[in-house]
Structure 1
Amino acid sequence: MSGRRSSGGWPVWRQFTGGDLLGRGAAAQSRRSLEITPRIASADKVVKSVCPYCAVGCGQNVFVKDGKVIQIEGDPDSPVSRGRLCPKGSASKQLVTNPGRPETVLYRRPHAAEWEPISLDEAMEKVADRVLEARDRFWQQETDDCTRVRRTSGFASLGGATLDNEENYLMKKLYTALGALEVENQARI
């Protein structure tokens, strides 16, 4: 009988004989589960955040160690999501820690086959020049019946689901101030 385990070590036996009928306490714990620590235990700080993927605004706890994100989980204090995240929200750590994430601005010149890195300042100048040129080229001050409209159909905006509510608010304000008519967001579509 030395090769057989006693039934006292079996979780179901401990559940029924140890007073933990629902199996949520000591009956469900193994020696190994008592020895392991959660991956967030070593975090230096927890930063409250909002999931960036859609307009719901689920709360997140971002666990940081040595200035780097080590885990992102649902915030149980959030009145919106009460600690729950959808599959995209649960995987949002990949958005900030993926080694394949570009960290420089890339530009492909007209008719070129390859992308080249350029400075952020140069990229911002290119974008600003093109937006202003398109705005001026397609500007409409008034309609044929002299109704003042002050608008442009030279560009449009389609925001992405990785922008948060504050970024989408600022984008809407910017494009409206520039006179754009078509301002939409992918999360609402």
Structure 2
Amino acid sequence: MLRQVRGRDRLGRGAAAQSAHTRALTPRTETADRVVDSVCPFCAVGCGQKVYVEDGRVTQIEGDPASPVSRGRLCPKGSASTQLVTSDRRVTTVRYRRPHGTEWEDLDLDTAMDMIADRVVATRRRHWEWEDDQGRRTRRTLGIASLGGATLDNEENYLMKKLYTAMGAIQIENQARI
């Protein structure tokens, strides 16, 4: 109150309301080495994010005020994006549970990619259809389908469509259309 009366901040909305501790505080993003523009990974809205990186680690994620979609705002999930990438409980290895298994095991990435490729080729071979019951040429497989997520952008969806079409799949859909 005394600071209000003595100073220029008569309504107590500025300097008169600040303590020495408050004036000494600095933004938690001030020490970042760089700021990376990103998009929130949680839904199809595509809110812009500013990712603050210090010493190669993500230290803070905030809404991007320049984003025409979100104008600097993030929903509760988007605001928790920092936890998504910095949590010590985040799984950073390939996890695999064998058929009828009860425990997860870690696999190296090359082994996992080879397993996926082998299964795709085997499924395609097993379910390949050169023609239908009436003799019409089909050249397709009904053993492979794709359901893309709403967080994928147009370019990613385009590439997925091209990949699955090249493999002969015809059941290609996106969650945003459903």
Please say if residues 63 and 71 of structure 1, whose CA atoms lie closer than 8 Å, have aligned partners that are also in contact.
yes
**Other-structure match for 1:138:** 127
**Any gaps of 5 or more consecutive residues in structure 2?**
none
Residue 149, structure 1, aligned to residue 143, structure 2: no
One-letter identity of the residue aligned with 1:76: P
Task: Supply the distance in 2 between the matched residues of 1:39 and 1:53 (Cα, whole angstroms).
Answer: 24
TM-score, normalised via structure 2 length: 0.83
Q: Spell out, residue by residue over 1:14-60, the C-alpha distance to the aligned partner (whole angstroms, 9 max, x if none).
A: 9xx83669x4x445544332111111111111011111122222111
Seen in structure 2, the aligned counterparts of structure 1 residues 38 and 135 have a Cα distance that, compared at 3 Å, is same
Match of 1:83 among 72, 81, 90: 72
Matched, 1:18 2:9: yes
Pick 1 or 2: higher relative contact order, CA cutoff 8 A, min separation 6.
1
CA distance in 2, matches of 1:62, 1:42: 13
Query: Contact 2:96 / 2:107 at 8 angstroms: preserved in 1?
Result: yes
Alignment pair present for 1:174 and 2:163: yes
Q: Root-mean-square deviation (CA), in Å?
A: 2.7
Identity rate, percent: 62
Q: Greater shift after overlay, 139-148 or 73-82?
A: 139-148
Partner of 1:3: none
| 1:107 Cα deviation after fit | 1.9
Judging changes above 3 Å, is the alpha-carbon distance between structure 1 residues 27 and 130 closer, same or farther for their aligned structure 2 residues? same
1:74–1:169 Cα change, 3 Å: farther
* Equivalent residue, structure 1, for 2:2: 8
Greater per-residue strand proportion: 2
Aligned residue runs from structure 1 range 29-178, under 5 A:
29-160=18-149, 163-165=151-153, 166-178=155-167
Give aligned pairs, total. Answer: 176
Amino acid at match of 2:48: G
- Cα separation, partners in 2 of 1:170 and 1:99, compared to 1, 3 Å: farther
The more displaced of 39-48 and 81-90 is: 81-90
Q: Secondary structure at the match of 1:182?
A: strand
Q: Which runs of 5+ in 1 are unaligned?
A: 1-6
SS at match of 1:149: strand
TM-score w.r.t. length of structure 1: 0.78
Amino acid at match of 2:73: R
Q: 2:143, 2:175 → 1: CA distance?
A: 20
